[in-house]
Amino acid sequence: MIIEIKVPSPGESITQVQIASWLVKNGAYVEKNTEIAEIESDKATLAISASESGTITFAANQGDTVAVGQIIATIDSDTAKPQNTEPVSVIQQVPQTETPAISVHISPLAKKILNENQIDASMLVNTTQTGRIGKQQVLNYLSGEKETVPAPTSTPGTTRVKMSPLRQKLAERLVAVKLNTAMLTTFNEVDMSQILKFKTKYNEAFKTKFGYSLGFVSFFAKAAAMAMREFPVINAMIDNDDIVYHQFADINIAVSSPKGLITPLIRNVQNMSVPEIETHIKDLGAKAAKNRISVDELAMGSFTITNGGVFGSMMSTPIINPPQSAILGMHNILQRPMAVNGEVVILPMMYIALSYDHRLVDGRESVGFIMNVKKLLEQPVENGLTNNDEFDNFLAK
């Protein structure tokens, strides 16, 4: 029986994806539920698995842009499993001893037209410098109007690669923020002494139970959710001529992935404890590292937190995640001399930054919010951010 492998819908409003990579070889025998390909939209990279065991035949090439619902491969489930074969593994690049050929991807429709007209695809290789041959290039060739392409501008020692859909979308959004918002940034600094005490006390317990260390972002997420109660405009957004206020704190946490920076979502942070938030953050971080964040987990929240401190950043001006109105930036912790009650003491200090859309948020709200976050972090027990019982009870579950 021939099983069709179609492109699943990664989410609402997404109609096209790119085949980021084939994870098996064309013509290989694959087991049911084996991951056979990765597809990439402008939001996330998703894996496609084999629905049945059998021999796979590709119907599209790596790098092709394909429509949701399009058949990209078939599996012949009547094929017997080969004996004494190694398990299917991720495709490896084959070393070339001769001058490497240009890698060109041909769209399914272009390939069909080439076959119907008995044209060797190699005749069109020099008509593209994008690494892809589409329908129009084939039609131009047939009509004698071969596309004139200037010589590649790459020079020795450089590599030209096509920008991924995720990176393209990120670039568009970042430029749009600059053009469409009145973004300002306010700064402050936080004495992290009390938060470090929690980290020192519970770090080993978290490692033992969950396999990872206790981080800092969870404390900031809870503090931001609490500060929003007093300054709800920080958690609001502009929709045409209206201001939309959110009764929840759905916070996007910026994390790195192999494809670039993404901002997965933690919903209803206002109802969670600090250790609960921590487990959500670590789970999202682990998924992001493997390109396994779902589209639902990349939904837009009401506020964003980014932590440049993990890369050693001392200070930055984070860019708003539209249509949100504010983003909180964390940075690295440095031991610095500070004046306390007329005396100089060494304290673990962190600069924090709040970028905000001045069309909606005024200085009073922005400064008030960041000062509230500072107060909660510097006196977490007294101000109800967290306490030892909260951690002990969570770890005892």
Residue 127 inside a domain? The answer is: no
For residue 171, give its domain range: 167-396
Give the lowest-confidence range in 125-129, 190-194, 257-261. 125-129
Asked if 73 and 62 count as a contact pair (C-beta separation under 8 A), the reply is: no
What pLDDT is recorded for position 144?
59
- Which residues belong to the active site? 358, 362
The verdict on 57 and 174 lying in the same domain is: no
Residue 54 inside a domain? The answer is: yes
Q: Supply the pTM of this predicted model.
A: 0.69
Give the lowest-confidence range in 51-55, 116-120, 291-295, 325-329. 116-120
Asked if 50 and 32 count as a contact pair (C-beta separation under 8 A), the reply is: yes
The verdict on 44 and 183 lying in the same domain is: no
Residue 82 inside a domain? The answer is: no
**CA–CA separation, 130 and 153 (whole Å):** 12
Residue 135 inside a domain? The answer is: no
Q: DSSP letter string over 321-373?
A: -TTBSEEEEE--EEEEEEEETTEEEEEEEEEEEEEEETTT--HHHHHHHHHHH
Please check the confidence at residue 12 and state whether its pLDDT lies above 70.
no
Last residue of a domain, one of 54, 76, 98: 76
125-177 pLDDT, tens digit per residue, is: 655 555 667 777 777 777 654 444 444 555 678 877 777 777 777 788 778 88
CATH number of the domain residue 341 falls in: 3.30.559.10
Residue 379 inside a domain? The answer is: yes
The pLDDT-based confidence of 98 (bands split at 50, 70, 90) is very low
Residue 321 inside a domain? The answer is: yes
Asked if 53 and 31 count as a contact pair (C-beta separation under 8 A), the reply is: yes
Count the domains in the chain: 2
The verdict on 346 and 214 lying in the same domain is: yes
The verdict on 329 and 201 lying in the same domain is: yes
The verdict on 215 and 350 lying in the same domain is: yes
Last residue of a domain, one of 56, 76, 96: 76
What pLDDT is recorded for position 183?
94
CATH number of the domain residue 13 falls in: 2.40.50.100
Q: Which residue has the higher pLDDT, 119 or 232?
A: 232
The verdict on 55 and 186 lying in the same domain is: no
Give the lowest-confidence range in 121-125, 234-238, 302-306, 371-375. 121-125
In this structure, how many other beta carbons lie within 10 angstroms of the beta carbon of residue 174?
14
Last residue of a domain, one of 76, 99, 130: 76
Asked if 60 and 108 count as a contact pair (C-beta separation under 8 A), the reply is: yes
**Secondary-structure breakdown of the chain: helix, strand, coil percentages, each rounded to the nearest 5:** 30, 25, 40
Residues 6+ apart with CB under 8 A from 366: 184, 186, 234, 326, 354, 356
The verdict on 211 and 313 lying in the same domain is: yes
* Mean local confidence (pLDDT), 5-30: 82
The pLDDT-based confidence of 97 (bands split at 50, 70, 90) is very low
The verdict on 262 and 378 lying in the same domain is: yes
The verdict on 277 and 383 lying in the same domain is: yes
The verdict on 62 and 185 lying in the same domain is: no
**CA–CA separation, 205 and 381 (whole Å):** 20
Residue 57 inside a domain? The answer is: yes
Please check the confidence at residue 244 and state whether its pLDDT lies above 90.
yes
**CA–CA separation, 286 and 387 (whole Å):** 27
Residue 103 inside a domain? The answer is: no
